[in-house]
Structure 1
Amino acid sequence: MQQIWTGGDLTFSYCTVQDLPEISRMLAKESVCRWMFFGPNTAEVTRSYFLPLIEGMEAAFREGRTPDCHVFTARIRHSGEFVGQCALLPVDFSPGSYLIGYQLDDPHWRKGYGTLCCRFLVYFAFVVLDGHRLNGDTVADHAASRRVMEKCGFVPEGCQRGYWHARGGDHDRVLYGLLKSDLSTEDLSAIAGAFTAS
């Protein structure tokens, strides 16, 4: 199975053990974890979360099948500099439905990379995997994450009040969704044309 894609200024590759130090450094930052229900993490906590996902993906590749989870590292295409990571995680008992996630290291904020990562997940879910639904969520006060999803076509579907307890407070969780059927043929063609297998 293809393992590297390019789009805009970024490359997206399946996460490997070699990426874990950079992911760990990112997720150890208070700035990066401000709006998350987890973190800042120690390197051990980050490794214990990501390592089983990486091992599961690598096992699928060895066996010639599509992984269940799709975790990607995003890097600047020309320099290889680490930007962040993004993922599609399957929704239990709902084939073709995925939860999206993305985290960017703070030097790369406000450059459009969050939107590019989210668009890549839309591309991968609907074009590569032929899925039918994407689910997203964020803390209600995280305006930047909400804008990213809305730019990519996601629509708000509800709010769970006081859902996450983090940093000494309770935070509302806003739910977003995107169906493949929400996108026109032209939209899907444009998304498919924006990313290239390397």
Structure 2
Amino acid sequence: MQQSWIGGGLRFSYCTEHDLPDISRMLSKESVCRWLFFGPNTNEATRSYFLPLIEEVQAALWEGRTPDHHVFTVRLEDTKDFVGQCALFPVDFSPGSFLIGYQLDDIYWKRGYGTLACTFLVYFAFTVLDGYRLNGDTVAGNTASRRVMERCGFVLEGIQRQYWHARGGYYDRLIFGLLASDLTPERLSALGEAFTE
């Protein structure tokens, strides 16, 4: 199975253990974790979360099968500098439905990379995995993440009030969804052409 894709000046590759120091550094920042229900993380906390996912992905790729989880490192194509990470997680009992996730290092904010990462997940879920639905969520105040999903075609489907309790407060959860059937055949074809090896 292919392990790396290029699009919009970024390279999306399945995470390896070698990526963990960069991911840990990013997730140790207060700015990056501001709108997350976790963090800032210690290196140990980040490693204990990501390493089992990475090991599952690498074992599946080694055996020639599709991983259950899809966790990608995002780097600049030309310099290989670390930009962030993004992921697709399967939804229990709903084959073809995935939860999206993405975090970018704060030095790469406001450059369109979040939208590009989300677009890559849409491409991967609907074109590579032949999925039917994507699920996304964000804290109500995180307008940047909300705009990323909306630019990628996601629709606000609901609000869960006081869903997260973090940093001494309660936060509403905005729930977004995107169906493969929401995209025209032309849009799906364009996605397939946007990301190559």
Common fold: TM-score over 0.5: yes
Give the Cα–Cα distance (whole angstroms) in 2 for the partners of residues 61 and 185 of structure 1: 29
After TM superposition, give the deviation of residue 29 of structure 1 in Å. 0.3
Secondary structure at the residue paired with 2:131? coil
State the match for 2:73 in structure 1. 73
Gaps of 5+ in 2: none
Matches within 5 A, 1:1-198: 1-196=1-196, 198=197
Gaps of 5+ in 1: none
After TM superposition, give the deviation of residue 193 of structure 1 in Å. 1.1
Secondary structure at the residue paired with 2:118? helix
After TM superposition, give the deviation of residue 64 of structure 1 in Å. 1.1
Give the AA of the match of 2:157: E
Q: How many residues align?
A: 197
Percent identity of paired positions between Structure 1 and Structure 2: 73
Q: Structure 1 stretches (4+) deviating beyond 2 angstroms? A: none
RMSD: 0.4
Normalising by structure 1, we get a TM-score of 0.99
Give the Cα–Cα distance (whole angstroms) in 2 for the partners of residues 104 and 95 of structure 1: 28
